[in-house]
Structure 1
Amino acid sequence: MTYTGDVTAGGPADVRELPDLTISKLEVGGFGNNAYLLRCRETGDGLLIDAAAEPDRLLELIGDLPISQVVTTHRHRDHWTALAEVVKATGAETVAHPLDAPHLPVPVTRPVEHGDKVTVGVVTLDVIHLRGHTPGSIALLFQNAHLFTGDSLFPGGVGNTERDPARFDRLYGDVVERIFDRLPDETWVYPGHGKDTTLGAERPSLPEWRARGW
């Protein structure tokens, strides 16, 4: 079946099978959060992005195979409500940026900075620090083709900066410099809420985002 990224509350995960990695997207919680399970096809090791809510459903998605890490994209509560229970059940390492780590409900065992690597099995993901939605928001990039953006980039714009011009300028600048100026149009964007998109679909709107300031 063709992956679309369209998921619904209480519904099944949508699964994308890549040669090296399986990506499963699940909607959880009352705010339409997306959680992503990445699993290395060679080793079976897994990584969960944002243990947002509904730990029972997340643990069902994880199943009997191990996960070695849970990455939290940023400090906002709706992205970590299930973190403590998932970590307790799996023994996974916790990963986040140090600027947001103190706001999480469990200690972060592996703080990551811009340019660091996160490995799941034999698969490597690049850490991209995107400042503005929160000070420590991060995205994860796989093979310059699959980008997990948390709440920093969505279809139609960057993440919420609460109408703060300085925060918007920082987030917009980081998104342009560290994502759009670096990656091709084909790069698929997996956001923290809602539908997926591609950089090519969003790139023509960058001047509009800049002009409106949100």
Structure 2
Amino acid sequence: MKDLLSVLKISVPDKIFIKDPETSNLGQRIIEQSIILINEIGFENFTFKKLGTKIGSNESSIYRYFESKHKLLLYLSSWYWAWIEYQLVIETFSISNDLEKLKTAILIVTRTIKVDSKFSHINEPLLYRIIVNESFKSYLTKEVDIENKEGYFEIYKRLIARLEQMIIAVKPDYKYGLSLASTILEGSLHQHFLFEHFPSITSCKNEETPTNFFIHLVTKILK
């Protein structure tokens, strides 16, 4: 599985960027250092000027890749969900039992992220922190419907559709597959957020992880 993943390219909708950052050393440094900087100072305080200083390049060079920091956040979110999707496809491919396949999928989309050495310019645990704390800012905007029509969120929606197919495979007459799938994906991020910032209002702590919660929830619902 690891060998197969190593030859797969993470693809992001090309309308999100002006120039694919994966095609140059500068582009990869933009992605690498933007993850570090957004994690350090937050998306609100993040600017291309600050990023330019961090990578030792002109602010204008960053605009050759992304027209705005919003588009950069869309890129990071799309890259993350595509990376998760690859793991989900590969790690569940050989599982024949539908319920076990769904449980494995839930584990993949809700677990705490570790470093993936195949992408040396991307710190996946830091990117995951950004997804938990900042990714909702990529779609809670006035332009969300336009951007949705442009296909900016196609990877995110495709991942939810994959989860929905696994849910329906377990219980074909279940009417709320998409709602449950999107709840798992977004709910997991929210539970990780609560664990870090509002631990008094979540049961996900110590050994009780969001993965345990969502597997319990889904197996009870789909009985």
Q: Normalized against structure 1, the TM-score is what?
A: 0.33
Q: Higher RCO, 1 or 2 (CA under 8 Å, sep at least 6)?
A: 2
Max radius of gyration: which structure?
2
More helix by share: 2
